[in-house]
Chains A and B, each alone.
Chain A
Amino acid sequence: MMVNAVDLTELEKDALTEVVNIGVSRAAASLRKMVGHQVLLSVPAVEIVSREKAATLLGERESNELVAVQQSFSGAFSGRAMLIFPEEHSLALARAVAGDELSNDEIADLEQEALAETGNVILNSCLATMANMLKRPLTMSIPTVCKGSASTLFEARSDKDSRVLFLYINFSIHHRDLRGYIAMTMDMPSLQSLKELLAEFIQQVVGNQE
């Protein structure tokens, strides 16, 4: 197997997982305020893979249609972030966020907005935390919602060599267990920048303790 120079070491992956874990925790706190109920987001498991591999990993787990909330980000590292979940969970998620007292029709009307807002909270928290922890500013676009299969979500747009930071995550919102994925597609220079920033972060943490 080809070893890519930009692939992260185990310690860098741990650091990335932890930075995203902080972001996910902040997202859970924001969602808790938004929905007024207990929200728990699991400690994410991170993998860095090619776009094709990301599509395969997702396709193996989810055979049905998927819903994704996506946002572009740019700064020290740039790319596209997506919060993905199975379509059959999207109404449940919208209901968990918008409230149980609404009728099915009302929920269906609100579905897109509820998903966009949930995605916005989670993706913004993750990206803003990455920016804060790594001490570099990032700007983010407005979220958009799209639907499709695993392969269409990871179709190449500009850079065919881009890599995907793929995160598995479980949501527990108001006693509903939902699963989802966060995927951040980045080109090689961005991944290289991220790798350098993670190495600095590790140095700060490990250096301070020793």
Chain B
Amino acid sequence: MAEADSPDALEAPLDDLRERLNISLLAAGVAGSWDWDIRNDRLYFDYRMATLYGLDPAEAERGLPTSAFFKCIYPGDANRLRIAVAGMLNGAELFLKSYRIIAADGLVRWVEAHGRCHFGTDEQPERFSGILVDVTDRRRMQATLLSAERMVAVGTIAASVAHERPALPTRSDPSSRTASSKARSTRSASSAGSRRSRTRTSSTSCSAATRRSAS
């Protein structure tokens, strides 16, 4: 049918496919994709990557200078990324890099770039394409977990110190004494303890060693 062959009729399923691909990529946490035409020195961003980088999506789809790849990179990460891209342009096949970008909204975001270089029949790099995954939330969660783990570790140490104090042998009310006199009394109590019972001393030093190794 003539109608089915018309450009509009072909465009509709293509739009559906693009939309479905977009939904799949979004579901995978993909923040954008790029295609670097190495031979012709042009870089293509999809709509999401162009928007993330604050570029005109229509222009990005027509092709950008390759310097656009480094446009929004957080200054501290720029050289790392340049070295990795130099690797791709010189024959590396797989690309995996985490770095920060300053997105168009001004916020610093962590991204993970997964790319692959495609080689021509002459075995020279031809295209370098890949996807960008926004891992800011994952990084934030990891930082929160790390901080929580540290808090737990500090809490464990504090609890073990608190647990130790009443166990120290004391002969009078400790609250009426200074820290240095407390230390003196602790030392004398320990040595008195060691004189009284060898078994008890050895079990105390064993638990102290356990605490040290645990901390």
Partner-B contacts on A (CB < 8 A): 10-11, 14-15, 18-19, 21-22, 24-26, 28-29, 40-43, 129, 133, 202, 205-206, 209
**A195 CB to nearest chain B CB (Å):** 15
Can you name 5 A-B residue pairings with CB atoms under 8 Å? A21-B87, A21-B92, A25-B93, A42-B94, A209-B70
Q: Contact: B90 with A209, CB < 8 Å?
A: no
If the complex has contacts A25-B92, A25-B93, A29-B123, are A209 and B87 also in contact, measured as CB distance less than 8 A?
A: no
**Top 3 A-B residue pairs of the complex, sorted by shortest distance between their CB atoms:** A18-B87, A25-B93, A21-B92
Q: Contact: B90 with A15, CB < 8 Å?
A: no
Partner of A21, one of B82, B94, B119: B94
Taken together as a complex, chains A and B put the C-alpha atoms of A193 and B118 apart, in Å, by: 33
Q: Contact: B83 with A14, CB < 8 Å?
A: yes
Residues of B near A21 (CB, < 8 A) are 87, 92, 94
Nearest B residue to A198, CB-CB: B83
If the complex has contacts A11-B80, A206-B82, A209-B70, are A22 and B92 also in contact, measured as CB distance less than 8 A?
A: yes
Q: Contact: B80 with A26, CB < 8 Å?
A: no
- Further contacts, 17 of them, CB under 8 A, given A22-B87, A133-B90: A10-B80, A11-B80, A14-B80, A15-B83, A18-B87, A19-B87, A21-B94, A24-B92, A25-B93, A25-B94, A25-B117, A43-B92, A129-B91, A202-B83, A205-B82, A206-B82, A209-B82
Nearest B residue to A19, CB-CB: B87
Partner-A contacts on B (CB < 8 A): 70, 79-80, 82-84, 86-87, 90-96, 117, 119, 123
Residues of B near A40 (CB, < 8 A) are 93-94
Residues of A near B84 (CB, < 8 A) are 14, 18
Taken together as a complex, chains A and B put the C-alpha atoms of A28 and B91 apart, in Å, by: 11
Nearest B residue to A12, CB-CB: B83
Partner of A202, one of B79, B90, B95, B123: B79
**A148 CB to nearest chain B CB (Å):** 31
Residues of B near A202 (CB, < 8 A) are 79, 83
Nearest B residue to A204, CB-CB: B86
**B76 CB to nearest chain A CB (Å):** 11
Residues of A near B86 (CB, < 8 A) are 18, 205
Taken together as a complex, chains A and B put the C-alpha atoms of A152 and B177 apart, in Å, by: 59
Residues of B near A209 (CB, < 8 A) are 70, 82
If the complex has contacts A14-B84, A19-B87, A21-B87, are A206 and B94 also in contact, measured as CB distance less than 8 A?
A: no
